Structure 1
Amino acid sequence: MRAFEHCAYFAISDICDISSLLQSPDLSLPRPSDRDVCVCWVDVSAVTADDASAWVSRLPQTERDRYARYRHQLAAHQFLVGRLLIRGWLESLTGTSAAAWELREGERGRPEIASPPSPWSFNLAHSGNLVACVLSSVSDVGVDLEDLDRRPLTRDLARRFCAPAEVADIEQQPEAAQTHRFLTYWTLKEAYLKARGLGIAVHLADLEFNLAGEHPSISFRESLEGTSRDWAFGLFQPTPRYLLSVAVPQPAGSPRPDIAVSAVTLDALTR
């Protein structure tokens, strides 16, 4: 499964609209180096029931069974394409067939590679019509994705999930920009929690992000006080409608990892 021959590739650190950079069919996704973190995203809006029926046979039986339990078509397509994406990516990097990889849910449900032995760590996210996967040889990477059209902001929502400084930042934005700013904080928090394998017991308001610098930075309040702050974050807008955040460990004194984002077409993924 040669899924990544037609991926556009670039490195980016701040929020931007990257859709105009993802049109070339001639660029390929490079193998991540020891410092690289790569994200691929796929638009599943064109997946039909016939497509899904044909593609699901590529999954192992356990994943076919899980696919069959979905009652909503979009959720089923998100799961299917996410599994095709990570399996195809691992095959392209290692030469081991996509079907040979055993994936499992680790503690708190985070997906991980069970076999064969591999240095790669990955995480998956989906929202609306987009599915994203982050892959790195750095352990404990996390990714989150949110549809800007999906979740209208209320003041109670911001105050429930955001630290006081974040709430103040949201409320000082123009009204039309407040949902965007809230979801910026939300995706960063979720990416961090997914990288750590932490569950919903964590109080999201105890994670505090600062967006004033060149890159987002994290600090911790109350229940999480004293937690290591040695993390790097990437914040992206793959299309005008979606926000995507990435969390990756960055040991003190080490250079910031390069984070690259690429689009993958369904045709490239499933041919």
Structure 2
Amino acid sequence: MSRKQESLNTAVNTVDEPMELLPYLLKIMSKSSRNSVKSILTRGQVTVNGQMVKQHNYSLQTGQTVAILSNQAAQSKSKLIGVSILHEDEDLIVINKNAGLLSVASKRENELTAYRQVTDYVRRSNSKNRIFIVHRLDKDTSGVMVFAKSEKVQQDMQNGWTEVVKERMYTALVEGEVKKSSGTIKSWLTESSTFKMYSSPVDNGGQYAVTHYKKIQSNKDCSLLEVHLETGRKNQIRVHMEELGNSVVGDKKYGATGNPLRRIGLHATALAFVHPRTGEIVRYTADVPQIFLARSK
């Protein structure tokens, strides 16, 4: 039925025939009760091709990999604050970072950060383990972030970032009703001495930036946008939304009038890139915060 290997406190199985997920798990975990298998699914301990799946009737296809995280490893992950792990292998850890959590250390050494949380997590199994940040998210932006487990993987990904990354999708909750159903914003971005980015429609020596957006839903107060980055400049979405006339909710630095969410309305929803070891394109997603959906109905 499947080929099995053990790695990183995770049992990894390769599917040999199409079937639904729960029956598949019951077969490969024949020594476990039906209720315990269902609990493992409910707790998010099962991934299919690196993506967490909780649906009992999820349709498995031949060749897919089903990974089952051990209870001990799941408990270790549950100790994380403001971070949940979306995927882990021998080269990478992909997380969903909560808003309000810094990506990396600030001047206050003891401040809680995503980097510190994930470092503590990998050192629970080996005190010599290290992680290396591949890219960052702003403190008040939530969503998908990637850490490397070696400096070589970090450098390879960062040095070839433009070629390695195939998709960067964000979800933005912006002020007001965006009139157009979709659009593209192009400009040159420069940074002031106060670390604020400014947009110019003509080349002023800054960095060229391109943002594509599509309206998902809206009301008179807010619009929910799916945003794709063609370039990845500092604060690019935030600047371009201000230029559009619909600042990101809560983003007072770039024109927002209020902060009803007590965070900015920006979430890194999906990241697709070439895996440094396999050369295959992998894609990881983090669910859009429910408050974004509720505010824009």
TM-score, normalised via structure 1 length: 0.35
**Which entry has the higher C-alpha Rg, 1 or 2?**
2
Give the structure-2-normalised TM-score: 0.33
